[in-house]
Homo-oligomer: A and B are copies of this chain.
Amino acid sequence: MQETKVVLPDREIPKQWYNIMADMPNKPKPPLHPGTKQPIGPQDLSAIFPMSLIEQEVSTQRWIDIPEEVLNIYALWRPSPLYRAHRLEKALGTPAKIYYKYEGVSPAGSHKPNTSIPQAYYNKAAGIRRIATETGAGQWGSSMALAGSLFGLEVTVYMVKVSYDQKPYRRIAMETWGATVHPSPSTVTNTGRKILEATPDSPGSLGMAISEAVEDAATHDDTNYALGSVLNHVLLHQTVIGLEAKKQFALVGDYPDVVIGCCGGGSNLGGVSFPFLQDKIQGKNVRVVAVEPISCPTLTKGEFRYDFGDTAGLTPLMMMYTLGHNFMPPGIHAGGLRYHADSPLICQLYHDKLIEAVAYGQTGVFEAAITFAKTEGIIPAPESSHAIKGAIDEAMKAKEEGKQKTIFFNLSGHGYLDMTAYQDFLAGKLVDYEYPDEKIKEALKELPVIE
Contacts and interface: CB of A to CB of B under 8 A. Distances in A.
Contacts of A177: 373-374, 379
A378 interface: yes
Contacts of A375: 149-150
A422 B176 contact: yes
A175 interface: yes
Contact of A419 (B9, B169, B178, B426): B169
A177 B376 CA distance: 11
Interface in A72-98: 72-73, 75-77, 83, 86-87
A77 B77 CA distance: 13
Contacts of A76: 4-5, 83, 376-378
Interface string A403-427: 0000000000000110110110010
A31 interface: no
A359 interface: no
Interface string A23-65: 0000000000000000000000000000000000000000000
B2 A72 contact: yes
A416 to B, nearest CB: 5
Contacts of A420: 168, 172
A373 B72 contact: no
Contacts of A10: 1, 3-5, 7
A416 B173 contact: yes
Given A1-B71, A7-B7, A169 B172 contact: no
Contacts of A175: 422-423, 426
A394 B175 CA distance: 28
Nearest to A13: B1
B150 A377 contact: yes
A68 B373 contact: no
B149 A373 contact: yes
A280 interface: no
A257 B410 CA distance: 41
Interface residues of A, number: 53
A398 interface: no
A423 B172 CA distance: 6
A4 B106 CA distance: 14
A11 B1 contact: yes
A370 B176 contact: yes
A414 to B, nearest CB: 8
Interface in A146-187: 146, 149-150, 168-169, 172-173, 175-178
Given A3-B75, A172-B423, A423-B168, A87 B378 contact: no
Given A4-B72, A71-B1, A72-B4, A173 B107 contact: no
A10 B81 CA distance: 11
Given A169-B169, A173-B419, A149 B11 contact: no
A105 interface: yes
A111 to B, nearest CB: 15
A1 B150 contact: no
A150 B419 contact: no
Most buried by B among A106, A376, A379: A379
Closest 7 A/B residue pairs (Cβ): A107-B377, A4-B75, A172-B419, A169-B419, A149-B374, A172-B423, A7-B7
Given A4-B72, A5-B10, 16 more contacts: A2-B75, A3-B10, A5-B76, A6-B9, A73-B377, A77-B377, A106-B377, A107-B376, A109-B416, A172-B426, A173-B419, A175-B426, A177-B374, A178-B374, A416-B416, A416-B417
13 contacts: A1-B68, A1-B75, A4-B75, A5-B75, A87-B150, A105-B105, A149-B375, A168-B423, A172-B420, A176-B370, A176-B422, A177-B379, A417-B419
Interface of A: 1-11, 13, 68, 71-73, 75-77, 83, 86-87, 105-109, 146, 149-150, 168-169, 172-173, 175-178, 370, 373-379, 416-417, 419-420, 422-423, 426
